[in-house]
Structure 1
Amino acid sequence: MLKKTLGALALTSALVATQAAADGHQIDLTGKTVEWIIPFSETGGSAKWANFYAPLLSEALPGNPTVVVTFNPGAGSTKGANAFQEMTYEDGTTIFGSSGSTQFPYLLSDPRVRYEYSDWNVVLASGTGGVAYLPADLAGQLGEGGDATPLAGEDFIYGSQGATRLDLVPLLAWEMLGLQVEPVFGIEGRGDGRLMFERGEANIDYQTSSSYLSGVTPLVEAGTAVPWFSFGALDGDGNIVRDPTFPDMPTFKEVCEATDGCETSGEQWDAWKAFFVAGFPAQKMVFLPAGAPDNAIATFTEAFAAIQERDDFAEISEARLGVYPQLTGDAARTAMASATDVPQEAKDFVINWLSERYGVVLQ
Structure 2
Amino acid sequence: MLGKAIRRMALFGAGIVGVAMFGALGAAHAQETTFDEVQLIVPYQEGGGSTIHARLLAPALEQALPGNPKILVRNIPGAGSVKGINEFYNAAKPDGRMIASLGTGTFFQYLLEDPAVKYPLAEFRPFLTSPFGLVVYARKDQGLKGDPIADIKKLREGRPVYGGANATSSDLPALLAIDLLGIKPQYLFGLSNAEAQAGFDRGELTLNYDNMASWANSVKPMIDEGTAVALFTFGFENENGDIVRDPMAPELPTFLEVYEEINGEPLEGTAYDVWKTLFDIRVMGSKMFSLPPGTPDHIYNVYAEAMKKALESDRLKSEQAEAVLGNYPQTVGTQAERTLAGATKMEGEQREWLKTWLKETHDVD
Change (3 A) 1:341 1:152: same
Query: Is 1:203 the equivalent of 2:206?
Result: yes
Counterpart contact for 1:49–1:210, Cα < 8 Å: no
Q: Give 2:19's aligned residue.
A: 13
1:57 pairs with 2:64: no
Q: Deviations over 1:230-288 (max 9, x none)?
A: 11123455443211222111111222234368963454344323432344222321123
**Identity, % of aligned positions:** 36
Q: Write the distance in 2 (CA, Å) between the matches of 1:112 and 1:181.
A: 30
Contact (CA 8 Å) 1:160, 1:185: kept in 2 or not?
yes
Please name the residue that 1:104 is paired with.
Answer: 108
Q: Deviations over 1:312-349 (max 9, x none)?
A: 75564544322333222222222211211134432221
Which deviations, in whole Å up to 9, do the C-alpha atoms of 1:153-205 show, x marking residues without a partner?
Answer: 443333333323342211111112222223333456x4554455346553322
Q: For the Cα contact (< 8 Å) 1:128–1:281, is it kept in 2? A: yes
Check the 8 A contact 1:178/1:262 in 2, yes or no.
no
C-alpha offsets along residues 111-147 of structure 1, whole Å, 9 cap, x if unaligned?
2322212453322122221111223424834545464
Return the alpha-carbon distance in structure 1 between the equivalents of residues 149 and 103 of structure 2.
Answer: 30
Question: Which residue type is aligned with residue 24 of structure 1?
Answer: Q
Structure 1 counterpart SS, 2:127 = strand
Letter in 1 for 2:19: S
Q: Which amino acid aligns with 2:354?
A: V
Q: Distance in 1 between matches of 2:153 and 2:317?
A: 39
Give the superposition deviation at 1:306: 0.4
Q: Which amino acid aligns with 2:169?
A: R
**What letter is aligned with 1:104?**
F
Matches within 5 A, 1:161-310: 161-187=165-191, 190=193, 193-198=196-201, 200-213=203-216, 216-217=219-220, 219=222, 224-235=227-238, 238-259=241-262, 264-290=267-293, 292=295, 296-310=299-313
- Give the TM-score normalised by structure 1: 0.80
Q: 8 Å contact 1:139–1:226 — kept in the other structure?
A: no
The aligned residue for residue 124 of structure 1 is 128
Letter in 2 for 1:27: T
**Structure 1, unaligned runs of 5 or more:** 1-7
Number of positions where the alignment pairs a residue of Structure 1 with one of Structure 2: 350
Alignment-derived partner of residue 4 in structure 1: none
